[in-house]
Amino acid sequence: MGSTFTEEEIVLWAYRFESKGPEELLQWAVEQYGTDIVLASSFGAEDVVLIDMLSRVAPATPIFYLDTNKHFAETYETRDRLQERYGTTFIQVLPNLTLAEQAERFGDELWASDPNQCCNIRKVEPLTRILSQYLAWITGVRRDQAPTRANTKKIEWDQKFRLMKFNPLASWTSDDVWQYIKAHDVPYNPLHDQNYPSIGCSVCTRQVLPGEDPRAGRWAGFQKTECGLHK
């Protein structure tokens, strides 16, 4: 199963869904792709919203997470609470290299010396591998998260990974996300309550200070704002 759209059709469908809610887009996307669509989750605020929405409109949709082996304990605990809440098991996607093998090949704490290489090994390559099994994926990307995401469409062709990409929350604000979480009592990562608006690996994420950009806590000290999954 799986639909094939021309470039013009993708633009048209993105325009049609721009004014529609994320649940409606999720339902339509799953109708188009069935078992060939997957949700990528980091268990951040946006992703737990999508997990809850999918549980309502398309509960059989597979959900995966990239396990870098360096997540915060709170992130793994959030994963476990979500699995219990929704009665599901998320697909664990591991890097080809263990942390010990990575250290032997590239040196200790690669994330401190070459975070791009570390992200490529522990995130980009595993993502490429899992997405090769599907025709479409769903993400929690929002336009106001970062300048690099400002032009995100709700429906677009992912040129990097060569499949359709759905971003149901693209037009949402952070307030929209948190209103949904509170209204539906969705389990979320408690680090969000401790000035961690964007949560990645524990070794590359710090608290965000008042007045800082929401993604300032990611890869602090480096000219890096994305791990390579979306841009």
| Nearest Cα residue to 218 out of 231, 230, 202, 210 | 202
Q: How many CB atoms lie within 10 A of CB 182?
A: 10
Instruction: Decide: helix, strand or coil at residue 205.
Output: strand
Catalytic position from the list 118, 201, 204, 227:
227
Note the Cα 109 to chain centre separation in Å: 24
Q: To the nearest 10°, the Cα dihedral for 9, 10, 16, 17?
A: 150
Which residue type, as a one-letter code, is found at position 156?
Answer: E
Helix (H) or strand (E) holding 92: strand 91-93
What does 102-163 look like in DSSP terms, one character per residue?
A: HHHHH-S-HHHH-HHHHHIIIIIHHHHHHHTT-SEEE----GGG-GGGTT--SEEEETTTTE
Which residue type, as a one-letter code, is found at position 3?
Answer: S
Positive or negative torsion for Cα 183, 73, 94, 106: positive
- State yes or no: is 227 an active-site residue: yes
The answer to whether the beta carbons of residues 49 and 182 sit under 8 Å apart is no
> Catalytic residues, which ones?
227
